[in-house]
Amino acid sequence: MQISGITAIKIEMNEPVIALHHLSKSFGNVHAVQDLSLTIEVGTIFGFLGPNGAGKTTTIRMLCGLTHPTGGHATIQGADIWQERQKVRTRFGYVPQSFSLYRDLTVLENFRFFGGAYGVPGAELEGRIERLLSVIDLQEKRSATAENLSGGMRQLLSIGCALVHDPTLLFLDEPTRGLDPVHRQQIWNLLYDLSHEGKTIFVTTHYMDEAERCTEVGFIENGRLLAKASPRALKETFSARLLEIDVEPLMPALVRLRELPELLGVSLRSGSLRLYAPEAEQLLARWREDWPFPDLRLLGERWVEPDMEDVFTAYSQGYDGVLKRSRP
Amino acid sequence: MRWLSFEATASVAYKEFLHIYRDRRVLLLVLLLPPLFTLLFGHAFETSELTGVPSLLVDRDNTPRSQDFIDIISKNKTFRWRRGSPDMKDESNLLGHGVRAALVIPAGWNESLENGDPKPLLLYLDSGDINTADAVEGSVRQSLGDFQLKQRDQMIEQLPEEVFELGKQLPVQIRKRFVSMMEMWSVDRKLLYNPKSRVIDFVVPGIIGMILQLLTVTLMACTIARERESGTLYQLMVTSLRRREIVIGKMLPYLVVSAVLVVVIMLVSGWHFGVAFHQLPALALVCLLFLLCSLGLGLLISAFSRTQTQAIQFSVFFLLPVFVLSGAFAPLEQLPTAVRYISELFPLTHFCRAFRLVNMYDAGLQFYVADLVLLLAGALITFIGAVFLLRRIEQ
């Protein structure tokens, strides 16, 4: 008895919060999400990365039970996201991409409405709202209508309202889109705090620096999952060494280098060029002997660590030559 | 899980109430329009009589007798006469003269009457609007009848003594019949249900129904469409609110506002127009069912349309035939049978009928129970339809 009890707890601990099994969604001939399988463990900050139209929002909306999968299935804490959506709803909070609270209602009224809508008992609600107001730092603005808040404050309010029923899981669809760095930082700090409390965070973004802050990252493009791992593990899939060079004049160099068959791609970073080449060492050795561009001046070169943007570029552009990977 | 959570429904209702309260323009519309419309329509329909129709009078006879007739017809309130010159040729150009009718007394009219071969008067009528043409013709006939009666009385007075002597020789029976024939035969009318023949009493349910229908359908139609437009609908859908809680919660504040409006309109028409109201509980029931039905319709339109603009357009398209065909301002019996079947589809038709039966006829339940049942059925169908359509949004 003792043992089976422990086993049960252990299974529960290891059971993923979210599990997607071949989840697909098509709108007619458009395959927004294709055969998406992944699991997310408790306490993870999962960053879902991909260009616009990759299927991030559709995935989140399926997980929230707002649209039904056309193939496969998914569970949140073991409950089916579509069949049992009424049951699942109290377990997560959802912050959609565009501000979707009531603009003509005040901060407090929005909180009270969503509290009531989620069935938070009245006695508990006021205390919880106070706590959330201090978490999102909007105590002073409690009587302001949502319409009159700044973009960052609105986003904080959206997150606050999504937390009013104390869910264990939070979906955020591009929560920092269009925000200034101060508010972005504030929102990420908030997400860390929530994660620290044991909440699981599922966040989409296309800011690569934000991907670095996640404990796990999934790349999605054209509705397909390209990779899923921790940011460190993803960077380690970058097999080739990454060469960064300083050239003058810069823009003609960018154009010329892009045409080189030895290079998979070139990206411009703070005045230097990063070269994605499978055999960068040989290339550099050759260049040192014979620089092929008489009209361009090579000022310097160095080896750099790939960052998330490099990894994402490589994955999304299909630069298989610089990646050690097997497609998931 | 309970069928309906009171707290959840109440929070939707409160939120919806705040939307109404915060939208000052709509609030103003809702508060001012009904009493204003009641006054406007009430006065507009106060009397059904036609008065002051601009008309042209041309007297080509120009005799004491034609002058006599003109004196009589001048007292007729239907017309506002303008005299035309006897020499004019274009009296049929009503538009040019800016009149709706032209009455011509032909030259030699007096003489033709004396000669036992009465010439007809000539009446040009603008029949673009059929009601006016009929009413004007009736009015002219009436004045002519009055004139003829007066002329006949004068003639009898002036008959020589011999004629009376001669008459006395006739058998009594024939004399009696002769007198009967000379009398105007009359109808003794007893007006029932609306004894003062006040149009306002007939029209009040039309006014109440029209205003309620207008406000409830359009405002309600915007509610879900607005949430869809602003993206809040999805936020609403991810909460643990159930569709019925959303639908009922959204409806409640509008139901309360509309109920207040019914009272306001009744007070205005009671005080200002002296309309009496009977069987208040029954009236309340009729109004409640009608409101539920209208709100349901609004919800249905709302769940059906993508944007608020669409919702308004759908509402207007729906409401236009309703106002014309529902018998709110004119009796349904004017409509051809086939169209009357369509009228029966509109909640406003049943509301007006039931309201009049209760209020004007003071009728028993058995007379209007069918209308109540149909209104209830309408409410149920529209609500279930709205809940069903909302389900489709999720997919």
Q: DSSP assignment of A59-79, as one string?
A: HHHHHTTSS--SEEEEEETTE
Among B18, B236, B241, the residue with its CB nearest the CB of A105 is B18
Query: Does A290 share its domain with A196?
Result: no
Interface probe with B: pick from A62, A64, A102, A106, most Cβ of B within 10 Å: A102
Confidence category of residue A1, pLDDT binned at 50, 70, 90 = very low
B369 vs A: CB within 8 A: no
Is the distance from CB of B80 to CB of B54 less than 8 angstroms? yes
Mean pLDDT of A112-122: 92
pLDDT by residue for chain B (395 residues), tens digit each?
568 888 899 999 999 999 999 988 888 888 888 889 888 888 887 766 778 889 999 999 999 999 999 999 999 888 999 998 888 888 889 899 999 999 999 999 999 988 888 999 999 998 887 778 888 898 999 899 889 888 888 888 888 888 888 888 888 898 888 888 877 788 888 888 887 777 888 888 888 898 888 888 888 888 888 898 888 988 888 898 888 898 899 999 999 999 999 999 999 999 988 888 889 999 999 999 999 999 999 988 988 888 899 999 999 998 888 888 888 887 888 788 888 888 899 999 999 999 999 988 888 899 999 999 999 999 999 988 888 887 776 55
Query: Does A143 share its domain with A97?
Result: yes
Sole residue written with tokens 């009796």: B331
Among B5, B232, B241, the residue with its CB nearest the CB of A102 is B232
* Domain termination residue (choose one: A187, A211, A229): A229
Total tally of structural domains belonging to chain A: 2
Q: Which residue of A has its CA nearest to B24?
A: A104
* Domain termination residue (choose one: A229, A251, A276): A229
Residue A327 domain flag: no
Residue A294 domain flag: yes
pLDDT for A318 equals: 83
Query: Does A135 share its domain with A167?
Result: yes
Are the Cβ atoms of A86 and B394 closer than 8 angstroms? no
Report how far residue B296's alpha carbon sits from residue B290's, in angstroms, rounded to the nearest whole number: 10
Report how far residue A51's alpha carbon sits from residue A49's, in angstroms, rounded to the nearest whole number: 7
Mind listing the pLDDT tens digit for each residue in A179-230?
899 999 999 999 999 999 999 999 998 888 888 899 999 999 889 998 899 9
Query: Does A249 share its domain with A222?
Result: no
Is the distance from CB of A231 to CB of A212 less than 8 angstroms? yes
* Min distance B363 CA to chain A CA atoms (Å): 45
**What is the rounded radius of gyration, in angstroms, for the C-alpha atoms of chain B?**
30
pLDDT for B1 equals: 54
Among B5, B19, B232, the residue with its CB nearest the CB of A101 is B232
pLDDT for A190 equals: 94
Interface probe with A: pick from B19, B229, B235, most Cβ of A within 10 Å: B235
Is the distance from CB of A224 to CB of A306 less than 8 angstroms? no
Is the distance from CB of B102 to CB of B74 less than 8 angstroms? no
Are the Cβ atoms of B18 and A117 closer than 8 angstroms? no
Interface probe with B: pick from A99, A114, A171, most Cβ of B within 10 Å: A114
Q: Tell me the C-alpha to C-alpha distance, in Å, between residue B286 and each of A137, B282, B357, B374.
A: 52, 6, 11, 11
The whole domain housing A214 covers: 2-229
* CATH 3.40.1710.10 placement within chain B: 53-158
- Residue whose C-alpha is closest to residue B183's, from B175, B191, B173: B175
Q: Tell me the C-alpha to C-alpha distance, in Å, between residue B77 and each of A14, B53, B135.
A: 95, 9, 12
- Which residues from chain B sit within 8 angstroms of residue A114, using beta carbons? 235, 239
* Min distance B238 CA to chain A CA atoms (Å): 6
Residue A328 domain flag: no
Q: Which residue of A has its CA nearest to B234?
A: A66
* Domain termination residue (choose one: A190, A206, A229): A229
Q: What is the dihedral of CA A33, A37, A43, A48, to 10 degrees?
A: -30
List the structure tokens of B217: 């359908």
List the structure tokens of B80: 């506002």
Residue A218 domain flag: yes
Are the Cβ atoms of B15 and A68 closer than 8 angstroms? no
Q: Which residue of A has its CA nearest to B245?
A: A117
pLDDT for B47 equals: 66
Residue A36 domain flag: yes
Mind listing the pLDDT tens digit for each residue in A51-85?
888 899 999 999 998 888 999 999 999 999 999 98
B183 vs A: CB within 8 A: no
Report how far residue B275's alpha carbon sits from residue B253's, in angstroms, rounded to the nearest whole number: 28
Residue A63 domain flag: yes
B240 vs A: CB within 8 A: yes
Query: Does A177 share its domain with A290?
Result: no
CATH number at residue A293: 3.30.70
Q: What angle do CA B202, B206, B208 make, to 5 degrees?
A: 115
Its pTM stands at 0.79
Are the Cβ atoms of B15 and A90 closer than 8 angstroms? no
Query: Does A56 share its domain with A108?
Result: yes
pLDDT for A2 equals: 41
Any idea which architecture B53-158 has in CATH?
3-Layer(aba) Sandwich (3.40)
Is the distance from CB of B61 to CB of B88 less than 8 angstroms? no
Query: Does A245 share its domain with A133?
Result: no
A147 vs B: CB within 8 A: no
Residue A167 domain flag: yes
Residue A134 domain flag: yes
Query: Does A19 share its domain with A130?
Result: yes
Is the distance from CB of B322 to CB of B213 less than 8 angstroms? yes
Length of chain A: 328
Q: Tell me the pLDDT of chain A averaged across its residues.
A: 88
Query: Does A149 share its domain with A51?
Result: yes
pLDDT for B288 equals: 94
Query: Does A60 share its domain with A78?
Result: yes
Are the Cβ atoms of B394 and A65 closer than 8 angstroms? yes
Mind listing the pLDDT tens digit for each residue in A156-179?
999 999 999 999 999 999 999 888
B242 vs A: CB within 8 A: yes
Query: Does A258 share its domain with A175?
Result: no
B85 vs A: CB within 8 A: no
Mind listing the pLDDT tens digit for each residue in B194-247?
877 778 888 888 888 988 888 888 888 888 888 988 889 888 888 988 888 988
Are the Cβ atoms of B230 and A122 closer than 8 angstroms? no
CATH number at residue A15: 3.40.50.300
- Which residues from chain A sit within 8 angstroms of residue B7, using beta carbons? 116, 119, 122
* Min distance B258 CA to chain A CA atoms (Å): 22
B15 vs A: CB within 8 A: yes
A172 vs B: CB within 8 A: no
- Residue whose C-alpha is closest to residue B293's, from B218, B352, B376: B376
Q: What is the dihedral of CA A106, A108, A112, A115, to 10 degrees?
A: 110
Is the distance from CB of A266 to CB of A313 less than 8 angstroms? no
* Min distance A319 CA to chain B CA atoms (Å): 38
Are the Cβ atoms of B234 and A116 closer than 8 angstroms? no
Sole residue written with tokens 């998931």: A328
B385 DSSP 8-state letter = H
pLDDT for A7 equals: 44
Q: Which residue of A has its CA nearest to B5?
A: A119
* Min distance A137 CA to chain B CA atoms (Å): 22
Q: What angle do CA A133, A134, A140 make, to 5 degrees?
A: 70
Query: Does A177 share its domain with A201?
Result: yes
Are the Cβ atoms of A109 and B15 closer than 8 angstroms? yes
Between A244 and B129, residue with greater pLDDT: A244
